[in-house]
Amino acid sequence: MSPLGTVWEIARREIRERGRSKAFLATTVITLLIVVGLIVLPNVLGGDTSEYTVASVGEGNEAIVDAAELLGNATDEPEDEPSVSISIDPVEERDAAETALDEGDVDAILVNGEEVVVVSVGGFGDSPLLGLLQRGAASVELEAVVAESGQVAADVIDVMTSDPLETTTLTGPEAGDESRGAIAYAGLMLLYLAVLIYGTWILSGVTEEKSNRVVEVLLSSIKPWQLLAGKILGIGALGLSQFAGTIAVAIIAVQVTGAAELPSLNAAAVLNLLLWFILGFLLFAVMFGAAGSLVSRMEDANNVAFPMSMIAVAGFFVSLEALREPDGLAAIIGTFIPFTAPFVVPVRAALDSIPLWQYLAAIVITVGTIISLVFVAGRIYAGALLRYGGRVKVREAWRSVSE
């Protein structure tokens, strides 16, 4: 069998055995449920009407509440449920109304159309009711001012909530920047997640083979680099299809529910993201694989994953900086460091702020690093796989293979 045929055989076993495992099926289903839930639920819940009750003490409150309700529903489409519904609860005494407010029976108190009483919630979750009542009161006053010219409150509110200026949006680099940034940011998050999730899979997959000692049987027939490459390709392919499936389901859910507007993508942008996604994933996968060979027990796997996770976190932060200032020093330095390039370069490219030569240089550096890492990792892997007990030091593993 050809050397690559062996790699494929190993990759295929990973895909088949792992793909059939309960753990894989369970995480896939749970992830999909969470993603769909996060997208669909707010949409379902968001359709409901916000209901408020206002205690009315004294005179002159009804007009304010009516105006507030109109304002709250001003942007609704005619067929929608109203967004806001405010009911009035007349109360004789202010003290009684305050008791009701304390107990949560009413959401606010209006006193003689001149004062509004609300409960402080410590700065969090201030309800929009206060704003609506203030603006309602303002429009009532405005109505009084314009009463002589015969306008009615509803017309006033119409004018206040309309967009009188016709809007013309120009397409072009300036106008599109926001959605490009969003795409770059999304790509970045996805790479970061994929590296951490599936990198850990590869790491534990390697440690597992070492801990159940099957590795000695395998290595009596095949070469360490074939085993490492097969595991990375197999687990990578399985993990990334789970990942792609989740993203596809998320996109469908978003489109069906209309929860958000998806930015339009062009082929170049997709290719750019995909290229760097694969490069970044391979780079980290090779490192995770080598790290997994250093320990014999699953319990120790987390310790050796730590340095890689830190590198990924660092790459992520440098790329956030690149998103803020794509021509900045951090972005330029990050472009030429192979461990940050997969995070930084796609962001700069998406924002059109990377010279072609830098883009190409980054590809060369990253691909070169991946290839050298395969050999370095392969040797560490070969040297460490048959050493059991505690954690094998990288240097020891390196030295124990003399070729």
Partner 1 sequence: MLSLTDLHKKYGEVVALDGCTFGVARGEILGFLGPNGAGKTTAMRTIFGLVVPERGQVSWDGEPISADLKRRFGYMPEQRGLYPKMKIHDQLSYLGRLRGMPAKAAAAAANAWLERFGLAERRLDPLEALSHGNQQRVQLAAAMVHDPELLVLDEPFSGLDPIAAETMSDILREQAVAGKAVVFSSHQLDLVEDLCEEVAIINAGAIVVEGNVRRLKDAAPIRHLELEIEGDVGHLLDTLEGIRQVDSDGTRRTVIIDAATDVREFIARAQEVGRLRHFAYTSPSLSDLFREAVR
Give the binding site for partner 1 (CB under 8 A): 1, 3, 6, 9-10, 13, 17, 21, 212-223, 386, 388, 400-403
User: Which C-beta is closer to partner 1: that of 62 or that of 300?
Assistant: 300
Helix (H) or strand (E) holding 155: helix 153-161
User: Which C-beta is closer to partner 1: that of 136 or that of 224?
Assistant: 224
User: Which C-beta is closer to partner 1: that of 321 or that of 396?
Assistant: 396
Residues 370 and 379 sit within 8 Å (Cβ to Cβ): no
User: Which C-beta is closer to partner 1: that of 6 or that of 161?
Assistant: 6
Report the nearest approach of partner 1 to the CB of residue 183 (Å): 40
Report how far Cα 265 is from the mean position of its chain's Cα atoms.
18
User: Which C-beta is closer to partner 1: that of 211 or that of 242?
Assistant: 211
109/101 Cα distance (integer angstroms): 7
372/32 Cα distance (integer angstroms): 37
CA triple 44-45-49, angle to 5 deg: 115
Residue 117: strand pairing partners: 109
User: Which C-beta is closer to partner 1: that of 17 or that of 352?
Assistant: 17
Residues 346 and 187 sit within 8 Å (Cβ to Cβ): yes
Report the nearest approach of partner 1 to the CB of residue 377 (Å): 18
Report the nearest approach of partner 1 to the CB of residue 216 (Å): 4
Report the nearest approach of partner 1 to the CB of residue 282 (Å): 23
Could you say which DSSP state residue 90 is in? E
Report the nearest approach of partner 1 to the CB of residue 236 (Å): 19
Report the nearest approach of partner 1 to the CB of residue 306 (Å): 27
352/350 Cα distance (integer angstroms): 5
Residues 129 and 86 sit within 8 Å (Cβ to Cβ): yes
19/271 Cα distance (integer angstroms): 27
User: Which C-beta is closer to partner 1: that of 35 or that of 386?
Assistant: 386
Residue type, 44: V
CA distances from 321 to 184, 204, 302, 334, 400 (A): 12, 32, 28, 10, 41
All residues at 6 or more sequence positions from 81 whose CB lies less than 8 Å from its CB, including other chains: 47, 48, 49
Residues 357 and 178 sit within 8 Å (Cβ to Cβ): no
String of DSSP letters for 275-334: HHHHHHHHHHHHHHHHHHTT-SSHHHHHHHHHHHHHHHHHHHHHHHHHHH-TTSHHHHHH
User: Which C-beta is closer to partner 1: that of 6 or that of 31?
Assistant: 6
Report the nearest approach of partner 1 to the CB of residue 31 (Å): 22
User: Which C-beta is closer to partner 1: that of 306 or that of 388?
Assistant: 388
Report the nearest approach of partner 1 to the CB of residue 312 (Å): 29
194/127 Cα distance (integer angstroms): 38
Report the nearest approach of partner 1 to the CB of residue 4 (Å): 13
